[in-house]
Amino acid sequence: MKQIKSIGGQDLKEMFAAATNWLEKSAQDIDALNVFPVPDGDCGTNMLLTMRSSIEEASRAPDQNISQVAQAMAKGALMGARGNSGVILSQIWRGLAQSLNEKETIDGHELAQALLQASEMAYKGLSNPVEGTILTVMREAASAAQKQVAGGNGNVISVLEATVDAANESVANTPNLLPVLREAGVVDAGGQGLFTLLEGALLYLRGDVELMQFRKSRVIASSIPVTARPLQLSAEEEEAFGYCTEFLLKGENLDLDKLRKKLQSKGQSLIVVGDESTVRVHIHTLDPGNVVHYITSLGTLHKVSIRNMDEQHEDFLTMQKGRMPAVDMAIVAVVAGDGLADVFTSLGASAIVPGGQTMNPSTKDILQAVEAVPSDKIIILPNNKNIVPTAQQVESLTDKSIEVVPTESVPQGAAALLAFDYEADFETNAKLMTEAKSGIKTIEITRATRSTKLNGLAIKKKQAIGLLDGNLLAVNDELDDVLSELLARIDLDKAEVITIYYGDDTDEAEAEQVSTGIREQHPNLQVEVVSGGQPHYNYIVSIE
């Protein structure tokens, strides 16, 4: 295993810059989890904005030792903190920075100590801390780090790994601690956000940069099984949530305790953090005017934000409604690339497991998606020959009914997904979908990563190579020549639709050009160009 004895300021900054990007990919998923303290669906976004402000400030640190960088990040987080979880996150940074004070670099022991102090600081900002939230996740993660170093292993990576694993478990356990999560069938959004950040930092430190490009963090499945998702969908019956009121107060000799006491009676979810010159306040109140009025007597107000949470809540409900399962069956698909994920989602897949050629997901990855989907009957589309057996193992690991439609390519998966019959039962659908995939031809085109000889073809590095239904059959200098060659092997008289999914390093214009070529040669075919965003393959082509 990779060993890292110590990290400095530059490392800290890079780790969390990468972690912020990692969080960005999942921010919307986290938003959708958000039910506590107010179901306004912005937790992921708030944490992301807080982190962005933190990272921005990090680059302004006067010195690149870990103490200065952490101070800057804490300051940035405080200045940019948004929402409940954002403010708590800024407290976490404050605790970290305090612990790292005057240090040039830190080892695993010092990291564990800093995490502990961060956890303590997080609790301090709140007048009545609630368990089953980001606080619990931070505390349990920090305590796992302590245990790890107590065992004598001071490797920074091992410490962070223990932290991330504990955070994962802690997040999964949040519904056991907080009834509102249990009712909604979700894990805590803030906790999930913190886990995602820590995970991102670990991945970066471990050097899994490529993985971070292609995958995104997943929403952790609740440790209690979710049978349905009885989210309240009518806003009328609910109490008013009032206004989420946030601002920075700048002044002299500010007394945080007094401020906290004074504001306590004015609303809920109160958080007061900072020092005697700068204080960040977050409160949910029905009368923001009253709060602001009181505060202006103490100093100057900055970055004032007052948001109507009832409105936010309605937006959230609309968002949830869009995500509500309408059938008792759900489809989990494995695809790589944002474009393909969007295509599969738009065609009705309930969950996407990132993965494909050269990046096969684990059984656990698929299992987690299966457990997270609020349906008891799940159809899995592996969309890759090598992933089919992995998907088939899921059945023995879950109580849910599983059908694996053994799709071996993205085009087969799309065809199977489209064949879903809304009036047919589970088994019939699996059958229909399996039948539908057989009528599809798949062409995959990529560039050779090394020179080799395969299937009697001499391939030079970087040459375009093409696979027809998984068999390497063509090689040429140009991608479109390979495509033409492979299309010529197919009886196109029987085909109706050709879909070209172009990869993330392929231009749309280039893909359009390829499609124009096909249209000219085969005017009877309907040719469609779709951004797949997949890695590895320049083109994945479906012929149906």
Partner 1 sequence: MTVKIITDSTSDITSNLAQELGITVVPLTVSFGHEHFLDRVEMTTDDFYRRLASENIFPTTTQPSPSLFVDAYQKLAQESDEILVIVVSGELSGTYQSALSAKGMVEGKCRIEVMDSLSVAMGLGLIVIVATKMAQSGASLDEVAAAIKRRIPRSHPVMSFDTLKYLAKGGRIGRAQRLAGPLLKVRPVLTMRNGEVSPLTRLRSQKASLDYLYNFVAGIASIEELAVEHATTPDDADRLVERLSSIYPKERIYRSTVSPVLGTYVGPNVLAVSILEAEGK
Query: Which H, E and C letters describe 167-220, residue by residue?
Result: HHHHHHHHHHHCHHHHHHCCCCHHHHHHHHHHHHHHHHHHCCHHHHHHCCCCCC
Provide the strand spans (E) within 309-393.
329-335, 351-354, 377-381
Residue 3 and residue 20 in contact, taking contact as beta carbons nearer than 8 Å: no
CB 157 within 8 A of CB 7: no
> What's the rounded Cα separation, in Å, for the pair 138 and 167?
7
User: What is the four-CA torsion angle of 153, 157, 162, 168, rounded to 10 degrees?
Assistant: 180
Select 223 or 345, whichever has its Cβ closest to partner 1: 345
**In angstroms, what is the minimal distance from the CB of 343 to partner 1?**
4
Q: Choose between 150 and 418: whose C-beta lies nearer to partner 1.
A: 418
Q: Give the shortest CB-330-to-partner 1 separation in angstroms.
A: 11
Q: How far is the CB of 425 from partner 1 (least distance, A)?
A: 14
Q: Cα torsion for 447, 451, 453, 458, to the nearest 10°?
A: 80
Residue with structure tokens 């008289």?
493
Radius of gyration of the chain (CA): 26
Q: Which residue, 194 or 414, has its beta carbon nearer to partner 1?
A: 414
C-beta of 417: minimal distance to partner 1 in Å?
9
Comparing C-alpha atoms, which of 173, 240, 191, 166 is closest to residue 36? 191
Strand order across the 268-274 sheet: 268-274, 278-285, 243-250, 300-308
Q: Which is closer to partner 1, CB of 174 or CB of 542?
A: 542
Shortest separation between residue 446's beta carbon and partner 1, angstroms: 22
Name the residue nearer to partner 1 (CB basis): 252 or 423: 423
Q: Which is nearer to partner 1, 182 or 519 (CB)?
A: 519
- Complex with partner 1: residue 257 or 423, whichever CB lies closer: 423
Residue placing its CB nearer to partner 1 in the complex, 110 or 544: 544
| Cα end-to-end distance, the chain, whole Å | 47
For residue 1, the SS3 value is coil
Measuring CA to CA, which residue among 229, 212, 164 is closest to residue 192?
164
Cβ closest to partner 1, residue 271 vs residue 498: 498
By three-state DSSP, how is residue 330 classified? strand
Min dist CB 32 to partner 1, Å, is 17
The smaller minimum CB distance to partner 1, of residues 265 and 346, is found at 346
The distance of closest approach from Cβ of residue 418 to partner 1 in the complex, given in angstroms and rounded to an integer, is: 5
Q: Residue 388 or residue 527: which is nearer to partner 1 going by CB? A: 527
Could you tell me the smallest distance in angstroms from the CB atom of residue 347 to partner 1?
6
SS3 content of the chain, % helix, strand, coil (to 5): 50, 20, 30
> What is the H or E stretch that residue 530 is in?
strand 526-531
Q: Which residue has the tokens 């050097």?
A: 207
Can you tell me the distance from the alpha carbon of 338 to that of 342, in angstroms, rounded to the nearest whole number? 6
**Nearest distance in Å: CB 530, partner 1:** 6
Q: Minimal distance in Å, beta carbon 342 to partner 1?
A: 6
CB of 255 to partner 1, least distance (A): 53
**Residue placing its CB nearer to partner 1 in the complex, 418 or 488:** 418
CA distance 157 to 2: 8
Question: What is the SS3 assignment for 449?
Answer: coil
User: Smallest distance from the beta carbon of 426 to partner 1, in angstroms?
Assistant: 16
CA 124 to CA 413: how far, in whole Å? 51
Distance, C-alpha 483 to centroid of its chain: 34
Residues lying near partner 1 in the complex (CB under 8 A): 326-327, 342-343, 346-348, 414, 418-423, 496-497, 499, 526, 528, 530, 544
